[in-house]
Structure 1
């Protein structure tokens, strides 16, 4: 696998996650290229990771795999610049939220394989959830390559591309929902008389433990919740209030809105 040279095009926050994850997995720094808009950013990445900073045209020519991590609104201009220079056999891995493989197909030589990827920010601690989808010309081997690239960042799953907007809503944006919930629970702890730091420690460890139980027990979340919910106890009193305030319905509506926004972004970029 490490025979491939990877160019991360648009090495912002998400692109840097890919670079650091590949290096942690043992990928040679001399087989990693990066492109950035700003020279200072390029110099910083080169110094920090020992990778080569190049321009987009050089990356397109030298790399075997192009990991495209630019903002969705910048992708069209990027491929106007380099699309025609990319050989049809070169693998393009897109991390651009909302952009379909069709978006790339019309801007690349016929037959160019494209794999669409949606990961999330827990990649910073090697706990990402990354969903991978094949474009029309991507083979099982291309999916294997993309999967190997992202395994160092956490877990991976393969999904049909038609499900990627739902993935964006659920796991791509998902960390923000958990942070909001934890923030609210910490505020509740303060309201109940706990010091903020104590409330923070209580809730963060509870969140970690609950997530590990969900992952490792194999139990349905309903069963795990019921195990904490005693008849006429404190937990059921709290759950009743959550249901009365429509928390479940709010989550359903929120994730549907995120999915719809992902679709809108794709439509705007055609």
Structure 2
């Protein structure tokens, strides 16, 4: 799902670290939403305040435990960007759970199922019909290219429309069954890792062969983007792209043969390892 909306939301990001900042950057460029960004320390506060200084009319930056509940006040959507192991203690912050009532609480905590968030909230305030969701965005949100995974329950609650609306303005939204969320998260992480290693390796090898670094990196990045678009929008599969580009004695085919003998097993192993790791995070 992609697109944007003219509706203005108020979004609070509690634990606005690297991912929260990437989301904030993307939204500030591509939406009319207003924000509260809450961080732990004065140093983080000052850095974030400086980075959003040109949007000071739309962003309020705060820090410290005594300001956490206030940061969530009046928000339509509250993003939890803390570390997974901090969830239980974080929800005990004075006044916070009270401010979460009736609002859409969105977890970005890798490895933490929606049911755990529900249980933690219920332990702080029973009898509430909590509006919760679990997502994993990507750092591409900074440039409007996030692939935001949304964990779907068996029956989709009404408030998920608000989540789709918010995140579709900074990239695509992919709904995934809750049971597959850890695997999907790991796949995204593995692909990003592969892109980093591939870009770095191709660039270094190109420079060693006499190509200017800026040229090599720009070409590598453009080709990765083109290949991704052909898979995602052009209707091609790896097999059809291979067939289309593999002319007899061709450069692409020779590169594929070399990669098959040296790299394919490593990619498969890294992907399966990432999935196993993601599934074990909350054991």
User: Structure 1 segments of 4 or more deviating over 6 A?
Assistant: none
Q: Which TM-score applies when normalising by structure 1?
A: 0.86
Other structure's SS at 1:159 match? strand
Deviation for aligned residue 1:133 = 1.6
Deviation for aligned residue 1:214 = 2.7
Report the counterpart of residue 39 of structure 1 in structure 2: 42
> Is contact 2:136–2:150 with CA below 8 Å preserved after alignment?
yes
> Is contact 1:189–1:199 with CA below 8 Å preserved after alignment?
yes
Q: Deviations over 1:134-188 (max 9, x none)?
A: 458x843211111111112111111111111111111245322201111111222
Deviation for aligned residue 1:3 = 5.7
The structure 1 residue matched to 2:264, chosen from 248, 264, 268, is 248
- 2:82 counterpart of 1:70: yes
Cα distance in 1, alignment partners of residues 49 and 261 from structure 2 = 53
Q: Which TM-score applies when normalising by structure 2?
A: 0.83
Unaligned runs of 5+ in 1: none
1:67-216 to structure 2, matched below 5 A, reads: 67-81=79-93, 84-109=97-122, 110-134=128-152, 139-216=156-233
Cα distance in 2, alignment partners of residues 135 and 174 from structure 1 = 25
Other structure's SS at 1:157 match? strand
Aligned pair in 2 of structure 1 residues 96, 222: CA closer, same or farther (>3 Å)? Answer: same
Other structure's SS at 2:105 match? strand
Cα distance in 2, alignment partners of residues 87 and 200 from structure 1 = 45
Cα distance in 2, alignment partners of residues 180 and 33 from structure 1 = 35
Aligned pair in 2 of structure 1 residues 58, 235: CA closer, same or farther (>3 Å)? Answer: same
Cα distance in 1, alignment partners of residues 156 and 212 from structure 2 = 55
Cα distance in 1, alignment partners of residues 86 and 231 from structure 2 = 38
Cα distance in 2, alignment partners of residues 213 and 139 from structure 1 = 31
> Is contact 2:26–2:143 with CA below 8 Å preserved after alignment?
no
Aligned pair in 2 of structure 1 residues 33, 234: CA closer, same or farther (>3 Å)? Answer: closer
Aligned residues between the structures: 263
CA RMSD of aligned residues (A): 2.4
Unaligned runs of 5+ in 2: 1-5, 123-127
Cα distance in 2, alignment partners of residues 173 and 142 from structure 1 = 30
> Is contact 1:130–1:157 with CA below 8 Å preserved after alignment?
yes
Report the counterpart of residue 274 of structure 2 in structure 1: 258
The structure 1 residue matched to 2:60, chosen from 52, 55, 66, is 52
